[in-house]
Amino acid sequence: MNKQVEIGNTGLRVTPIGFGANTIGAHNLFENIDEEVSRETLRVALQDGVDFFDSAFMYGLGRSEELIGEILAGTGRRSEVVLATKAAHIVTDASVKLDNSPAFLEKSVDIALERLRTDYIDLFYIHFPDGVTPPAEAVGALQRLKEAGKIRAIGVSNFSVDALRAANQDGYVDVVQDRYSLVYPELEADMIPYCIEQGISFIPYTPLASGLLTGKFTAQNPPQDFRKDRPHFQGQAYLDTVAKVTSLQELADRHHVSIANIVLATTLGIDGIDVVIPGAKSPAQVRANMQTLNAALTNEEIASVRALFK
C-alpha cells in the first residue's frame, strides 16, 4: 500500500498515510506540548516517508504551521511534500468568531504562506462555515487564489452536505474534510456519496475515533480525560465497541500490524477516501501509523471489518 495515490482530481500525489498536525505546537488544544518533541516528530515523519501534512491556524493559533515551515525550511524538503492548512477563526482574548469573507480568506492564505515559509499551499480549506458568507462566494475567493498560484487545491471542512452543495455550485471544491470513522459512519448516508458523484476526495479526521479504535482502551481502562464525556465512551456503547475492537486482534496478528493499522487500512478501503491523516504526538506514533502501509487487506477483510461496526 506504500505507492502514492492522487487526492481526488487535484493532481496532488501522496502516500495514503498522512500526518494530522493538530498536536504540533498546539498549546491552545492540548496540555504539556513539548515543541522539541514536535520538531523531532516532524523530522521522523519526513525520514519515514510521510509526504502529506495537514495543519490549521487553530492548531496552536498558527504555531503548528510555523513549526512545519521551520522543519521543511531546515531540511530543504518543501518540494517533496504536500501541505494542507485551514482557516476560518478569529481569536481574541474575549471571543472566537468565524469568518469566511473573501478578504479574510485572502489574508489568511497570505499569513499561512509566511508561517509555512513557502510561496504556495497545496491544499487550503475553509475550516468551518461562518453561517453568514454565501459558501459559493467564499469558495470563489479561493478559486481566485488558486488561479493566482497561491494555492493548488480548494477544500472545505465541517460543512453540512447542503452547505457543500452550495459551496460547490461552480464545481470548484476539490476536497472535503470532516469527522468520520467506523463508529461515526453517518456521512456514508449523504456526504460521501455526494463527494464520489462530484469527484471530490473525502478526507476523514479522527479516523481512530479519538483513540477508541486503537485497542488501547479496555472495559476496565476507559479514558479519564475529556473523552469520557463523549457518548461512544460511555456505558454499554463503550463496552460493545471495545469488544468489537478487541476482536480485530486476530486479523491484526495475521497481517503483523496493530489494531489501529487495521482500522486505518479499512478506512482507506472505503470508496471516496484516498488518504487518512492520523495525528502523532511523538516519533513512535508516526512510525506506528506508517505501519498501516504493511496491512494489505483483501476486499473481503475490509467488508468484514466494516460490517462488524454496522
Active site residues: 59
Residue 96 CB neighbour total at 10 angstroms? 9
Would you say the C-alpha torsion 287, 14, 182, 158 has a positive or negative sign? Answer: positive
Contact 80, 48 (CB under 8 A): no
Provide the β-strand partners of residue 54.
Answer: 20, 84
Closest CA to 265 of 221, 306, 227, 307: 306
Half-sphere exposure of 139 (CA within 13 A, CB side): 24
Provide the β-strand partners of residue 98.
Answer: 89
CA-CA distance, 63 to 112, in Å (whole number)? Answer: 10
CA-CA distance, 306 to 310, in Å (whole number)? Answer: 7
